[in-house]
Structure 1
Amino acid sequence: MLPVGYTSILEAGSRDDFRREVVRFSQSLGFNTVSAMAVVDLAMGRSEFVSIDNAPDGYAAAMHDVPAMRRDPVMQHCRHQSVPIIWDQDTYTRRGLGELWEEQARFGYHTGIAMALHLPEGRHFAFGVERDQPLPSDGGELQRLVADLQLFAVHAQDAAMRLLSPLLPQVDLPALTPRELEALRWTMEGKTAWEVGAILGISERTAVLHVNNAMHKLGCTSKHQAVLRALRLGLIS
């Protein structure tokens, strides 16, 4: 039987219910603030999102600096990784981004734990908790805390996609041919066009054509971008 915290988020029937349960669970673990975000990838590298949080007044306006946020190490980690990140001032200062930490620290964002779940069809769920006190120094206690948050995030993403995704644009998956998908899969494995052609029994020129067609359909300018977008959309694995 699932603990009450997990069943409650699964039973959320509205955005307000969802926000209340996310905040309640996070505060029960000792975190002042929390954010939960449903994201969907669109064409040409664009993404849309719907966020639920309990950020302090003025935080969103103060942090509304898109170029700076694109450099944020926590956001960049969650964009590309599925494992949680435990962050604090050192996470920013060792990358020369101490000013970003200082800006958010004045709102109580001193340290925290963040993670992202990357789902098929270009959908993602990001979840982060923050507080102004240090995290547990005991390794076992910290590991249990991260595990609790991971388990909650798995259940929260189900409710988030149900309640928040309808507010996001619908994604029309590109119609790649089987050959184009095969060419991308082997490109992902590091194969050259000549090697892809040899594996698929086609000419190098035809292999290049399949990859280029896939790039065009995915709205990408390089084969590496095309592979990443196809992965995010769940077209290849």
Structure 2
Amino acid sequence: MLQGGYASVLGAVSRDEFRGEVVRFARQLGFDTVSAMAVVDHGVGRSDFVLIDNAPEGYSDAFHDVPSMRRDPVMQHCRRHSVPIVWNQDTYTSQGLGDLWEEQARFGYCNGIAMALHLPHGRHFALGVERDRPLPADRGELTRIVADLQLFAVHAQDAAMRVLAPDLAMTDLPALTPRELEVLRWTMEGKTAWEVGAILGITERTAVLHVNNAMHKLQCSSKHQAVLKALRLGLIH
């Protein structure tokens, strides 16, 4: 039954269809609520995101705001890691955020699993499922559920970017050479052209040439702009 969910979400051609497939899969997996979010970074401190969920009335207004997201330990985990997090009340109380858990528990958000896929070119896809009942105590069963969710997320992220954020699709990326990317990485670390040359075993003039070529390909007027744009496009990390 779950196998059909993996393939079905790929066929979604509208936001409503995508939401329906995500909700259906979550319920097959034994969860009452689900949220899926497509995020595209555009540089430091600037991102676009589109969210779909089946949250009960009143929950979205209370929790889908920036201050709450910044406090939420599950959201913060997903921002930094690709490993799924299995969470419950202890996840919040251990960080002194029991009040946040109690507020969301009123809406049935008591236990859940969340994960994020951090993709190239500053794209991210987050998926979370929740319910008021405890998660299975049997480790094997819980591992299977997490694995099913991970596999579904891999399928769903492609549809999410295509359906939820079509206007944010990436255009063809500049074709920087491995050496140009390497020079940009060291420039990002604050190294001068002379230092980059010493590290890479090339002359200072050659290091400058690689930086200038990268700037030209990225259509930037300074090496610092080139580093920031390369980061935004996922060319360097």
The TM-score normalised by the length of structure 2 is 0.81
Structure 1 residue 131, shift from structure 2 partner: 0.6
State the partner residue of 1:78. 78
1:158 maps to 2:167: no
Retained in 2: the 8 A contact 1:121–1:173?
Answer: no
The structure with the larger Rg is: 2
Mark the CA change 1:171 to 1:218 in structure 2 (over 3 Å): closer, same or farther: farther
1:214, 1:171 → 2: CA distance?
Answer: 22
Q: Are the structure 2 counterparts of residues 184 and 163 from structure 1 closer, same or farther at C-alpha, using a change threshold of 3 Å?
A: same
2:143 equivalent in structure 1: 143
1:109 counterpart = 2:118: no
Q: Which amino acid aligns with 1:28?
A: Q
SS of the equivalent of 1:3 reads helix
Number of aligned residues? 223
Q: How does 1:1-237 map to 2 (within 5 A)?
A: 3-166=3-166, 168-169=167-168, 181-186=181-186, 196-200=196-200, 201-203=202-204, 213-219=222-228, 230=231, 233-236=233-236
* Gap regions ≥5 residues in structure 2: 212-221
Report the CA distance between 1:130 and its aligned residue. Answer: 0.5
> C-alpha offsets along residues 133-152 of structure 1, whole Å, 9 cap, x if unaligned?
11111111110010000001
* Contact kept in structure 2, 1:40 and 1:47, CA below 8 Å: yes
CA distance in 2, matches of 1:176, 1:199: 23
TM-score computed with the length of structure 1 as normaliser: 0.81
Report the equivalent of 1:223.
none
5+ residue gaps, structure 1: 220-225
Q: Secondary structure at the match of 1:50?
A: strand
Q: Would you say the 8 A contact 2:37–2:50 is kept in 1?
A: yes
Q: Distance in 2 between matches of 1:234 and 1:45?
A: 15
Query: Is contact 2:23-2:34 (8 Å) kept?
Result: yes
| In structure 2, distance between residues paired with 1:176 and 1:68 | 40
Question: In structure 1, how many angstroms separate the alpha carbons of the residues matched to 2:38 and 2:52?
Answer: 9
Q: Is the 8 A contact 2:187 2:227 kept in 1?
A: no
Deviations 1:139-174 (A, max 9, x none): 1111001000000111111111111121x4456799
Query: What secondary structure, in the 3-state scheme, does the structure 1 residue paired with 2:114 have?
Result: strand
- Structure-2 residue corresponding to 1:222: none
Give me the whole-angstrom Cα distance separating, in 2, the residues matched to 1:202 and 1:89.
Answer: 57
Contact 1:41 1:171 in 2 (8 A): no
Q: Indicate conservation of the 8 Å contact 2:111/2:130, yes or no.
A: yes
Preserved CA contact (<8 Å) 2:112 2:128:
yes
Moved more, 32-41 or 195-204: 195-204
Evaluate the alpha carbon distance shift between residue 135 and residue 214 of structure 1 in structure 2; reply closer, same or farther with a 3 A threshold.
farther
Indicate how the Cα distance of structure 1 residues 81 and 233 shifts in structure 2: closer, same or farther if over 3 A, else same.
farther
CA RMSD in angstroms, aligned pairs only:
3.1
Contact in 2 for aligned 1:173/1:233 (Cα 8 Å):
no
Conserved 8 A contact 1:113-1:146: yes
